[in-house]
Amino acid sequence: MTAAAGSGRRLRRFGTHLMLVMILITLPVIGLISFLDYQEVEQRLIAEETLLREQTEKSVVEMITLVDAGLNLFDETLDHRMEEGFGPVLAEYERAKRDPGKMDLSRVRKELGGEMDIYIINASGVIEETTYPPDLGLDFRGIPYFYDRLTEIRLGDAFVADRVVAEPASGVLRKYAYMPSPDHRYVLELGLVCSAAEVDRFDPKYQTLKEDLMRLNPALEGIRIYDGYGRVVNMTESESPADPAAINPVARAVFEEKQDRTLTDAAAGRFTRYILVDLSAPDTPSDTSRVVELTYSTAPLDARLSGIRFSHIILAVFASLAACCIAVPVSRQVTRPIRKIVEDVEIIARGDLDHRIRVSPETELTRLSESIGTMVDSLKENIERLRASEATSRQYGTHLEDLVRERTAALEASNQTATLYLDIMVHDINNANTIAIGYTQVLVEMLEGERRETARRMLSRLERSAEIITRVAALRRARETRAAPVRVDLDRVIRAEAADHPAARIRYEGRPVTVLADDLLSEVFANLIGNAVKFGGPDVEITIRVEEHGEEVVVSVEDTGPGIPDKSGVFRRFGKGKGSLAGAGLGLYICRMLIERYGGSIRVDDRVEGRPEEGVAIHFSLPKAPEE
């Protein structure tokens, strides 16, 4: 059971095969179970991570909204104070006869206690006059939503208080309020600079919010909050001061587009979420919405997945080792009765046909033992029969070889006789046709009238007979010649065949090209040109084209004759067209046989597609000879 006698190669034991099969079945199953379990755990962890992130973002939005609601209450405590401040401003506007350039804004500012700046905004949204020089000439058309709101205030009649917002240039906190001029030409604006106490009251400390969220979500690395200009507004005690003019373009884009955004940095193992917290209100000009930047690290999730992956691999390895340890004794136990049977079979194989197979206690193996014994008995009987029939088979074989030799010799003799008769017929009929054609041509020249027409028809039939004999001879040569294709100058062959028809109107503008064929290639052009001349008459025009397409050469032979309406079967032997102009049916068959022997293909089309009466076009391909 370890080696095949005389085989020259080592064979594995059946027990080894069985053990390998058990291992090969068990290992993929263990691997599949481990993989599926890991996939399930991975999906669960990712789902938990996603849910935790969503809860974190929801908490951020709720906390910022809650803080803003408290700040709004503080804003409202300043509204009455701001509304009273417009009294002196309106009085000065009227005193200056509604000309902002003649207003004494510095005096009005001192009258208001020096804590409010005054701004005069024209209909174009530009600050025309102000007590705060850095904002002089500021154009609010660059902030479309704010400019639209200013236009509504200018055309209205109501006092409008704004929220406490950071000044764009310096980041100083101011409380703004607006009122239209009586003539609705300007918007009057007051800007209250918040005191230190008010700044401390307004500026929220987000450190507690950040610490709570970091405890809630270990993957959260950092939190920043930006205003509508993309400036940081959530500076905490643990962070360094930032330049108020520093702009985060992503936060500003999220604010303008009103759409959250996620940026992923796979190399650093983190991604950043920009979330818009919509705090806009229809009754305030400024949009105090915030953009929250939450930076998450994928390291905690990756670490958990790596640990789970490693534990699954270790479990799979131990399970595989256990399966291998179990497979070895099981395979030995299963194959022990089979090894006994194999030992008995080997004794019988060495020629001891009288040796009996030991019967195993297992039912299936008992049947196998009995079957082998029956097979051995049957083998002994068959050996005797084979020895008895061997002599008879030898006699039959000798007789059959004699019959084959006799039949082969008879076929060769018949073939030689048929070839001889065909050569005699071709030779003698050709001679007779040649003489008859000569005499008939003389008669055509000598006779006149009806007799001359009869002689011309006779000449046509004789020429057709000679053509048939020529094509039969060519067909015989094609069948007997089986030489390998050689390099043939296609241009020379075409020009030679065209020269054989001086009366025909043949147009050919070729150039030297070499193909793989033999000396019978001229028969193809002789048949195609001859058919065109014969069926097209003296006025037929023949065009021959040669085109190179990669490794093959495509040849087209077109004529302006009557065409072939029914093209089915024209390349079969004795296949011919229908009507009075039909030929013998050998010419195109010979063409197809030669072209296919060269390794090409041939087909027939109308010269003008869909109009067979305007002529026929024969296209065939030939293999191009390689460069020498």
The pLDDT assigned to 593 comes to: 85
Q: Which residue has the tokens 């100058």?
A: 489
- Kindly report the CATH class assigned to 483-623: alpha beta
Encoded tokens for 332: 């030995």
Helix (H) or strand (E) holding 390: helix 363-446
Q: Please provide the average confidence, as pLDDT, over all residues in the chain.
A: 79
Q: Which CATH architecture has domain 202-301?
A: 2-Layer Sandwich (3.30)
Rounded mean pLDDT, 452-476: 67
Highest mean pLDDT among 64-68, 221-225, 292-296, 473-477: 292-296
Query: Strand 261-265 vs strand 220-226: parallel, antiparallel, or unpaired?
Result: unpaired
* Segment 302-332, tens digit of pLDDT: 888 888 888 889 888 888 888 788 877 877 7
SS3 labels along 97-123: CCCHHHCCHHHHHHHCCCCEEEEEECC
Q: Could you check whether 202-301 and 483-623 share the same CATH topology?
A: no
- Per-domain boundaries in the chain: 77-200, 202-301, 387-480, 483-623
Q: Which value, to the nearest 10 degrees, does the dihedral of the CA atoms of residues 305, 308, 311, 317 take?
A: -70
Highest mean pLDDT among 270-274, 314-318, 481-485: 270-274
SS3 labels along 145-171: HHHHHHHHHHHCCCCEEEEEEECCCCC
Q: Higher confidence at residue 66 or residue 417? A: 66
Rounded mean pLDDT, 389-398: 72
Give the pLDDT band of residue 354 (cuts 50, 70, 90): confident
Under 8 Å between Cβ of 587 and 530? yes
The pTM of the full predicted model, rounded to 2 decimals, is 0.47
Of 106-120, 372-386, 387-401, 412-426, the range with the lowest mean pLDDT is 412-426
Is pLDDT of 186 > 90?
yes
Cα distances (angstroms) measured from residue 505 to each of 2, 423, 525, 560: 84, 35, 15, 11
Is pLDDT of 416 > 50?
yes
The pLDDT assigned to 581 comes to: 44
The pLDDT assigned to 203 comes to: 52
Highest mean pLDDT among 101-115, 470-484, 567-581: 101-115
Give the pLDDT band of residue 239 (cuts 50, 70, 90): very low
Is pLDDT of 467 > 70?
no
Is pLDDT of 512 > 70?
yes
Is pLDDT of 206 > 90?
no
Q: Higher confidence at residue 415 or residue 570? A: 570
Q: Which CATH architecture has domain 77-200?
A: 2-Layer Sandwich (3.30)
